[in-house]
Amino acid sequence: MTLSSSGTVWNFAAGPSRLPDAVLARAGDVLFRRGADGAAVIERPFTGNAVRAVLESARERLTQLLDIPANYHVLFLAGGAMHQFSAVPMNLIDPASGLRTAAYADSGYWSRRAMREAARFAEVSVVARHDGSQALAAPAEDNWRLPQGCAYCHITANETVDGLAYPAWPNTGDVPLVADTTSSFLSAPLDIARFGLVYASAQKNIGPSGMTVVIVREDLLRRPAQSAPSPLCYRLQAEQDGCLNTPPVMAIHLAALVFQWIAESGGLSAMAEANRRKAELLYRAIDGSDGFYTAPVIAAHRSITNVRFHLADVSLTERFLSDAEKAGLIHLRGHRHVGGLRASLYNAMPLAGVTALVNFMAEFKRCKG
Ligand code: PMP
């Protein structure tokens, strides 16, 4: 079969993933060049004005992009989303006030990992899960029966491994809704006021790994968080502007450049529109392949950032992956727990990358179908 020879390589990794070209082009200059005082940004003390200015600009830009209400704190914390799997229960459970139980919706791989971790710190109650009787979907958002003494209700907004997303947010009444938005953060506007707490690790749509954004509503900082180690205690970090310990300056600086790039590219509505077009193109190619390719998630719950699909003849999977790589289409292997194929279409993936992928898929089908 004839493979593309344009020389362009398109990286479909689930994360760490492709960063915007414009950000990579500027990053070295901004981060590593020494200023008049003889220090580059990453060499400066985090207590000094230069690093504080970086933090402030990242916070301001993110606040503008998401239109974050004034009663929320934005923290850029060291570590990944999995640190938050423990930090969330440690901060939000409050047994002395009767808030002992943590409600979790089971939507797939990452929500199960989050609840397994939470079970070390709280009584976990699974309030919703997909019933398994039909094609893959997120749990239906209505009729969740939250337990007595419920400290919070946790969802995984976009399941990176399973390739599914919530089409609408559940209504949890007075119980704070907490969302792991790692793989959908900044892919579209997000109504922060619907949530008590939102977190996302950086290595998808924010920047390089090593940093996690936590957006937490002020009233939740009043919970005692007695078991939380200081760097994972939201109240202590909020009191010190996220600088209780050394913040991941390089990751935050790159995140600020990404936030700027998003704003200059039209903001989150423009991201959402571009992401919708990319996902539509790919799902259309899958659905229109007469069953040669199949997507396991029902249409209304399909992720626009992590498109999961299979070859009907699974014996062709390895050949597909190696031919794709030769054509410059890399990291299309599905997660080891579910197999198959996955194309991650974060903000920095242009439509041209997805077009190259669907053209390759059509050609592969023509040769092997
Ligand atoms: N939650 C989701 C939805 C994820 O996709 C990931 C990473 N792929 C994690 C949590 C874990 O993030 P980290 O590796 O940053 O701890």
Closest CA to 338 of 317, 363, 354, 320: 317
Q: What is the mean pLDDT of residues 121-144?
A: 84
What's the token pair of residue 238? 């909020």
Instruction: Looking at the structure, tell me whether residues 35 and 165 fall in a common domain.
Output: yes
Q: Tell me the C-alpha distance between 197 and 9, whole Å.
A: 37
- Atom of ligand 1 at shortest distance to CA of 201? 15
In angstroms, the CA 278 to CA 231 distance is 39
* Statement to judge: residues 209 and 271 lie in one domain: no
User: What mean pLDDT do residues 143-156 have?
Assistant: 94
- The span from the CA of 349 to the CA of 12, in Å, is 8
Taking the CA of residue 203 as reference, the ligand 1 atom at the shortest distance is: 15
Q: Compute the distance from residue 36 Cα to the ligand 1 centre, in Å.
A: 39
- Please report where in the chains the tokens 């502007």 appear, as a residue: 241
What letter would DSSP give residue 340?
Answer: S
CATH number of the domain within which 90 lies? 3.40.640.10
> Probe ligand 1: pick from 111, 201, 205, 303, max atoms within 8 Å of CB?
201
The CA distance from 7 to 292, in Å, is: 27
* Ligand 1 close to Cβ of residue 185 (< 6 A): no
Pair 355, 334 in one domain: yes
Phi-psi category of residue 201: left, alpha or beta, with phi > 0 → left and psi -120 to 50 → alpha: beta
Q: Separation of 331 CA from ligand 1 center, angstroms?
A: 17
**Confidence (pLDDT) at 3:** 47
Q: What is the pLDDT at residue 133?
A: 62
Instruction: Please say which residue of 249, 264, 279 terminates a domain.
Output: 264
Q: Is the CB of 79 under 6 A from ligand 1?
A: no
Q: What is the mean pLDDT of residues 53-69?
A: 97
- 240 and 163 belong to one structural domain: yes
Residue 133 placed within a domain: yes
Under 8 Å CB-to-CB from 280, ≥6 apart: which residues?
A: none
Q: Is residue 220 a contact partner of residue 196, using CB atoms and an 8 Å limit?
A: yes
Q: What is the CATH number of the domain that holds 355?
A: 3.90.1150.10
pLDDT band at 1 (very low <50, low <70, confident <90, very high): very low
Model confidence pLDDT, tens digit, residues 74-105: 999 999 999 999 999 999 999 999 999 999 99
pLDDT grade for 334, boundaries at 50, 70 and 90: very high
What is the enclosing helix (H) or strand (E) of 275? helix 267-287
Q: Which two tokens stand for residue 318?
A: 């390895």
CA 161 from chain centre, in angstroms, equals: 11
- Check pLDDT > 70 for residue 364: yes
**Which residues are paired to 262 by β-bridges?**
none
SS3 breakdown of the chain: % helix, strand, coil, rounded to 5? 40, 20, 40
Q: Determine the structural domain holding residue 311 and report its residue range.
A: 267-368
Whether 82 is in the pocket of ligand 1, judged by its Cβ within 6 Å, is yes
Positions marked catalytic? 110, 180, 204
Mean per-residue pLDDT for 32-48? 88
Q: In the prediction, which pLDDT does 115 show?
A: 98
pLDDT at 36: 86
176 prior amide bond cis, ω within 30: no
- For residues 294, 296, 302, 308, the Cα torsion angle rounded to the nearest 10 degrees is -70
pLDDT per residue over 240-282, tens digit each? 999 999 999 999 999 999 999 999 999 999 999 999 999 999 9
Q: How much distance in Å is there from the Cα of 183 to the middle of ligand 1?
A: 8
CA 92 remoteness from chain centre: 21
* Arithmetic mean of pLDDT, 101-129: 96
Ligand 1 centroid from CA 61, angstroms = 23
Residue 9 in any domain: the answer is: no
Q: How many CB atoms lie within 10 A of CB 117?
A: 19
Domain boundary, last residue among 222, 242, 264: 264
Confidence of residue 6 (pLDDT cuts 50, 70, 90): low
Query: What is the β-pairing status of strands 10-11 and 101-106?
Result: unpaired
* Domain final residue pick, 240, 264, 288: 264
Cα–Cα distance measured from residue 351 to residue 281, given in angstroms and rounded to the nearest whole number: 9
Give me the mean pLDDT over the 329-341 stretch.
96
Q: How many domains does the chain have?
A: 2
Query: What pLDDT does residue 52 have?
Result: 92
Q: Are residues 346 and 248 in the same domain?
A: no
Q: Is residue 10 part of a domain?
A: no
Pocket of ligand 1, candidates 82, 335, 337: which has the most ligand atoms within 8 Å of its Cβ, to mutate?
A: 82
pLDDT for 130 equals 78
Average pLDDT of every residue of the chain: 94
CA distance 234 to 86: 12
> Are 299 and 354 found together in one domain?
yes
Q: What is the pLDDT of residue 41?
A: 84
The answer to whether the beta carbons of residues 115 and 105 sit under 8 Å apart is no
Using CA atoms, how far apart are residues 236 and 182, in angstroms rounded to an integer?
Answer: 23
Same domain? 190 vs 300: no
Average pLDDT over residues 195-224: 97
User: DSSP states of 315-334 as a string?
Assistant: GGHHHHHHHHHHTTEE--BP
| Cβ–Cβ < 8 Å for 215, 199 | yes
pTM: 0.96
216 by Cβ neighbours in 10 Å (0-12 / 13-18 / 19+) ranks as: buried
Encoded amino acid at 49, one letter:
N
Any idea which residue has 């014996």 for tokens? Answer: 315
Measured in Å, residue 13 CA sits from the centre of ligand 1 at: 13
* Residue 213, domain member (yes or no): yes
> Are 285 and 253 found together in one domain?
no
